[in-house]
Copies of this chain bind each other. A is one copy, B any other.
Amino acid sequence: MLIDHLSIIGVGLIGGSLARALRKAKLVGRVTGCNRCEETLIKAVELDVIDDYTLDVAEAVKGADVIVIGTPLSVTEKLLPQIAEALETKTVLTDVGSAKGSVVNAARKTLGDQFPKFVPGHPIAGTEKSGVEASFAELFIGHRVILTPVEETCKKSHKLITDMWHAVGADVIDLDVAHHDEILAATSHLPHMLAFALVDCLANMQERDEIFKYAAGGFADFTRIASSNPDMWHDICFSNRDALLKTLEKFSEHIDQVKAAIESSDSDQLLKIFTRAKKVRDEFVHNREQLDTSKE
């Protein structure tokens, strides 16, 4: 048994899928769920995602070998003091937040002596759907999980969390906290901002109804991430504020270049931008396919 007693605080898509995968692999003994909303927990028991539940964070923390915090980032920061109070020395703590700097800072402040047992993590998996009903055991297979251990992080705890993600099929990679936040600002947080802003922008136009009537498959793909959970993304924006603002600034400069090229009829410049983008995007897809093939 890899983990005798696992507690999941925030039983949603990620926490639920992790619990399902570990149970399926018979690598976990008991799984306790903890959530603000009891309905979700009853559902999670019915779906056989967890064994038992509690609405009390301290209760969930007590006796757990591993605690996975699967809540939105702002909730995580609020819960950390309560977790710290009940935390036992044997317990290893990890999270799944999409930004790492803010949560590492908060954990360093609140966990004190126990901070080395916190292994910050971020599974690069998920869909635009959320909630325990959307969870499934295969979610992490072939996906990357980034861990951002810091100097203080205990080696043994780090290894346990690495093993846990490996066990559910993920590729586990370690990254520096700030580096993680910069890269994710570019590849994930910025595209989400663009998708949300685009849909909201079109929805505000006069021709709104016709716009959505004539939108096709390309638009559906492009805006898929605008169906993501608003609360979660609100938290990510503020948690990764600096890196995100820097990236947004760079993007604005870039879209201004496109605009300027169209305005000034700079045919060469426009074609150069599109051609470079297509080349890089085609390479990206090619590399992803290579990766998939090499896994078979």
Chain B neighbourhood of A192, CB < 8 A = 218
State which residues 187-233 of A face B: CB under 8 Å.
187-188, 190-205, 207, 210-212, 214-216, 218-231, 233
Q: Are A275 and B186 in contact (CB under 8 A)?
A: no
Cβ-based interface call for A254 (8 A): yes
Specify how many copies of this chain sit in the oligomer: 2
Q: Are A280 and B212 in contact (CB under 8 A)?
A: yes
Q: Are A193 and B258 in contact (CB under 8 A)?
A: yes
Instruction: Write out, one digit per residue, whether chain A residues 243-271 have a CB within 8 A of any chain B CB (1) or not (0).
Output: 01100111110111111001101010011
Instruction: Choose, from A2-10, A34-42, A79-87, A282-290, the stretch at the interface.
Output: A282-290
Give complex CA distance A285, B222 in Å: 12
Give complex CA distance A222, B231 in Å: 21
Cβ-based interface call for A62 (8 A): no
Q: Are B219 and A245 in contact (CB under 8 A)?
A: no
Q: Are A280 and B200 in contact (CB under 8 A)?
A: yes
Minimum distance in angstroms from A124 CB to a CB of chain B:
5
Q: Are A226 and B143 in contact (CB under 8 A)?
A: no
Q: For chain A, give the interface size range.
A: 35 or more
Identity of the chain B residue whose Cβ is nearest the Cβ of A180 in the assembled complex: B214
Q: Are B265 and A234 in contact (CB under 8 A)?
A: no
Q: Are B220 and A285 in contact (CB under 8 A)?
A: yes
Cβ-based interface call for A61 (8 A): no
Cβ-based interface call for A237 (8 A): yes
Give complex CA distance A228, B226 in Å: 22
Could you list 22 A-B pairs, sorted by A, with CB under 8 Å? A128-B218, A182-B207, A187-B211, A188-B218, A191-B223, A195-B222, A198-B251, A200-B276, A218-B225, A220-B284, A220-B285, A222-B222, A226-B277, A227-B281, A230-B274, A230-B278, A234-B267, A234-B274, A238-B265, A248-B258, A252-B252, A252-B255
- Chain A interface (Cβ within 8 Å of chain B)? 124-125, 128, 143-144, 146, 179, 182-184, 186-188, 190-205, 207, 210-212, 214-216, 218-231, 233-234, 237-238, 241, 244-245, 248-252, 254-259, 262-263, 265, 267, 270-271, 273-278, 280-285, 287-288
